[in-house]
Structure 1
């Protein structure tokens, strides 16, 4: 069995890159939808499931319940305890991964075609008959508490947590998905069952598949895999308005280098200007050494090893964020440079050379994402959750190419808000006060 991991890795990498992706929409007899890219050259299938909602579905006073529940899905199911479940998956050369974020529970499955039926039966047990044994609950709780304690000493985690708390307050986005030591300790088996029923429901599932499986086979397995799940789950939380004002918040922490996160309200993924904002960010801080922030903060002044910005279109709120770290005696200068570049781009947009360079990179790099059945299945699910059309992968580069200088200038003035650019700094920064 020591060869199983390398075998699956080889199959993931062996799928050839394709300039165009042929996606088939599949609907099961019970009405479950999925997107499929069929590839019969390798006897291997990747299946991705996403359940919309994720950790944001935690009920009041139960923070961390969804995270703990997801961590227990591979800790025994049906007649199999945790050890037996792991041994069964290994014997089938099958790989399962269970994860949770702010807005989704993610389940990934990788299996050989010849073991498809047995692998999917095991996965079905995991998502329809989780055991939530008390011994497993206590074991996973201890692992989560260890993570919480470690995060409490990590400046990178602290700065993100403080920024989220300031922006979102009591909304689930305002606290870590792991919960606190106290909230995790208080969670019961009944809480986990309730979190399970609320998060893994058919009214919020999205499916992507790639590999050696036909549309007919996929339609049949969807019903076997998912039909026994609850029809509806916990309602999604309400949208939250993001408001910030320009300034700095300092969180004292005894480290030689300060870490900062900065940002303000962003732009929703379904906004007509999102593509232009995406290209704009590539030029400002999303790329490598060609990005303005990297050029001005690192290359010209040597204030950091890295600085970057990124769009965060969450389901209930959209953010435009960035991160930088610098020595305590230089972080104030780094922040001033970032403010200046944020303002310059908001007022003046970008140059034609910058736009052309960003387009070349973005259109050239995009096909490289489709480098195996696993990444392809993942992309298919992401497209569905973002409500993108099924031909998006074949039109996306044309949409990037269509962005003009005028588009960038207009969107820069709309999206970049120097008057709302808030910095949170963790460390002992010299020359900075809250």
Structure 2
């Protein structure tokens, strides 16, 4: 025992032994005084031996005392006769709702003559309907504090509306008006064309996204997955009002959508409200398998452009499995094993060799064939060494299985990232929509974290050997000019 005192105080004869003796004499006396009196007034009763206390059983709450905010509701599916299935993830923890209406198709059916038509159709649909002008559409959302977003992914497109549940009901009719009755005004089309061209030009200056676009062009060639979402100056210029009307009739007006609702709502009542809007014997399901098939490369391909930069950004990767393949889960774990701080590729290229500023891996899931690639940003003089090192690391993945610890960390990270992302209503809507469009059942969607945890070393190595074919790799590169 140590005791700190001011220098002016006389030292006391206090030691560990004397302190312990004081405790031994004081504690029993204190316990006796704390016991309730059993004898005559003023005299302590006999000290009782301690008894073993039974654990106190918590009182069960009455049904009326349980708050709906604390209830975890499962993902449910409500079918609509002659219409879509409505997926609902109910949660009353916050007074927020996200509603997504998505249509399979769109970009996956574009070609080099009309690329960008899906994006142009989505944007122009907001500029007026049969019953609403553009200014009124946006004002109705803004006045209610709602967030409205367009989604244009390679295999589907649609709209997501997010806001407070108390303000949500009135906005649904506006959303349905946009979806079903856009006018595609010619003047508004020309305005959106100009904005699309500006966005395409801005993309070309993005040192993160543009190398990925070059990689996709090298990997997919003329397939729609390799075409830019914003189209090109040439294709955008040729699109007409008639083209947009025809595209809308093909992929929206006559198509069964996928509807997902997440948040503070009662799913059955919301599904019933949508039944009249999306119930028709004329609606047809879009079969993504009827789009142009993806072809595997016969040899390595490369797309390179130069810029007045001191840095080179390179993307190297391979054709991956279709989105409904179980191998996608293995590649998700592998992605998190090699990417990010502590990842295998980062440790090798950045920490050990000092060749790169940034190293990250990514998997794209597409219905007809996805992609797995690695992005690396380096000084221009190190670009070739970095690419050679990346190829070597991909080769090691095929030759050497991950350790138990490395695999466990990657699986846990994959599940945690997934669960964190699903804390947001909008991310729930998008995740469940993708799963439904790619043919996953309700049980498969729910079991995703468990499926990730079942991945083992053999599955990781098998996926690497099957898809990481260095002789058929694709490279997209924005090369800085060496000085």
Q: Is TM more than 0.5 here? A: yes
Give the Å deviation of 1:45: 2.0
- How is 1:104-123 mapped onto 2 (pairs within 5 angstroms)? 104-123=156-175
1:276 and 1:233 map into 2 onto residues whose CA distance is 30
- How is 1:22-421 mapped onto 2 (pairs within 5 angstroms)? 22-58=74-110, 61-201=113-253, 203-227=255-279, 231-232=283-284, 236=288, 237-243=291-297, 245-246=299-300, 250-285=304-339, 288-392=340-444, 394-421=446-473
Give the Å deviation of 1:228: 7.1
Tell me, yes or no, if the aligned pair for 1:242 and 1:264 is still in contact at 8 Å. Answer: no
Tell me, yes or no, if the aligned pair for 1:17 and 1:372 is still in contact at 8 Å. Answer: no
* Deviation larger for 135-144 or 377-386: 377-386
Secondary structure at the aligned position of 1:412 is classed as helix
Give the Å deviation of 1:247: 6.9
1:394 and 1:149 map into 2 onto residues whose CA distance is 41
Give the Å deviation of 1:335: 0.8
Normalising by structure 2, we get a TM-score of 0.78
Q: 1:174 to 1:402 in 2, by over 3 A?
A: closer
* Deviation larger for 152-161 or 274-283: 152-161
Structure of higher CA gyration radius: 2
* Deviation larger for 45-54 or 244-253: 244-253
Secondary structure at the aligned position of 2:373 is classed as strand
Of structures 1 and 2, the one with the larger relative CO (CA 8 A, separation 6+) is: 1
- Flag structure 2 segments of 5+ consecutive residues without an equivalent: 1-67
1:294 and 1:281 map into 2 onto residues whose CA distance is 12
Secondary structure at the aligned position of 1:72 is classed as helix
1:168 and 1:259 map into 2 onto residues whose CA distance is 20
Normalising by structure 1, we get a TM-score of 0.86
1:293 and 1:22 map into 2 onto residues whose CA distance is 38
Secondary structure at the aligned position of 1:267 is classed as coil
Q: 1:251 to 1:401 in 2, by over 3 A?
A: same
1:349 and 1:204 map into 2 onto residues whose CA distance is 44
1:157 and 1:125 map into 2 onto residues whose CA distance is 34
Secondary structure at the aligned position of 2:138 is classed as helix
Give the Å deviation of 1:409: 2.7
Secondary structure at the aligned position of 2:354 is classed as coil
Tell me, yes or no, if the aligned pair for 2:81 and 2:275 is still in contact at 8 Å. Answer: yes
